[in-house]
C-alpha cells in the first residue's frame, strides 16, 4: 500500500512538472517579440500635431523613444528635463519621440498643451502606431536608437539629464 502511495505521489509530481513545462513553453512562444539592443527598431506613428513620423525617415539621427504616461509621477517630474535636453540637442542630430501609453487621448493632449512641450508626442494606443517595442510594463521606458536605426540602449525607470548625455553624446559623435 505504501509503495502505491509513493507511486501516485511521483506520478502527480510528474504531471505537475509536465503541465508547468508546457505552460512555460506556450507563454514563451506567445509573448510578443520586442526590440532589444542591437535589433533594428521599428516605429511608424502619427504625432499629436497630425504629422506622420517613422524611424526609417529619421535614419542618420539619434532617436530617443520615450514611453510615458500623464499619470506617471516619475514621467511628470522628468518631462521638464527631457524638454531641456531636446532643446539643447535637437540641432545636433537628436530627436525625441514621446509615446504616451495613456488610455485617454484628450487627457494627453491637455497635459502636453498645458506643460508646453515642443518635442514630438504621439499616442501609442491608436490604430496609427506600429512599432516593435513590445509591451511596456513600466513608465518611463526609454529606447535609444542609433543613426543606423538599431536599438543602442534601453532603460526602464528614472533617468537624469547627465545620464542621458552619457548615452546620447557618443552616439551623436559616431
Q: Where are the chain's structural domains?
A: 1-31, 43-172
Tell me the CA distances in angstroms from 35 to 10, 61, 135, one per residue in order: 42, 18, 10
Q: How far apart are CA 106 and CA 37, in angstroms?
A: 33
Question: CB–CB of 94/64 below 8 Å?
Answer: yes
Give the SS3 label for residue 24.
helix
Q: What is the dihedral of CA 154, 159, 160, 163, to 10 degrees?
A: -20
Task: From first to last of the 174 residues of the chain, give the pLDDT tens digit.
Answer: 555 544 545 566 666 555 654 444 444 333 444 667 778 889 999 999 999 999 999 999 999 999 999 999 999 999 999 999 999 999 999 999 999 999 888 999 999 999 999 999 998 876 667 888 888 888 999 999 999 999 999 999 999 999 999 999 999 998
Domain 43-172 has CATH 3.90.1150.10: no
pLDDT of residue 16: 54
pLDDT of residue 25: 42
Amino acid at each position: 500500500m505504501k509503495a502505491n502511495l509513493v507511486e501516485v505521489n511521483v506520478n502527480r509530481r510528474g504531471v505537475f512538472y509536465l503541465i508547468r513545462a508546457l505552460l512555460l513553453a506556450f507563454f514563451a512562444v506567445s509573448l510578443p517579440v520586442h526590440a532589444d539592443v542591437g535589433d533594428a527598431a521599428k516605429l511608424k506613428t502619427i504625432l499629436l500635431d497630425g504629422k506622420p513620423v517613422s524611424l526609417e525617415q529619421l535614419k542618420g539621427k539619434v532617436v530617443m523613444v520615450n514611453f510615458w504616461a500623464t499619470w506617471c509621477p516619475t514621467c511628470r517630474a522628468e518631462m521638464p528635463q527631457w524638454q531641456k535636453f531636446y532643446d539643447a540637442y535637437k540641432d545636433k542630430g537628436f530627436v525625441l519621440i514621446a509615446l504616451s501609453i495613456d488610455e485617454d487621448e484628450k487627457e494627453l493632449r491637455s497635459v502636453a498643451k498645458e506643460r508646453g512641450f515642443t518635442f514630438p508626442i504621439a499616442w501609442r494606443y491608436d490604430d496609427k502606431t506600429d512599432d516593435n517595442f513590445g509591451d511596456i510594463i513600466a513608465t518611463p521606458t526609454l529606447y535609444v536608437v542609433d543613426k543606423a536605426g538599431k536599438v543602442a540602449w534601453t532603460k526602464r525607470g528614472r533617468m537624469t539629464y547627465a545620464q542621458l548625455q552619457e548615452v546620447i553624446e557618443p552616439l551623436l559623435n559616431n
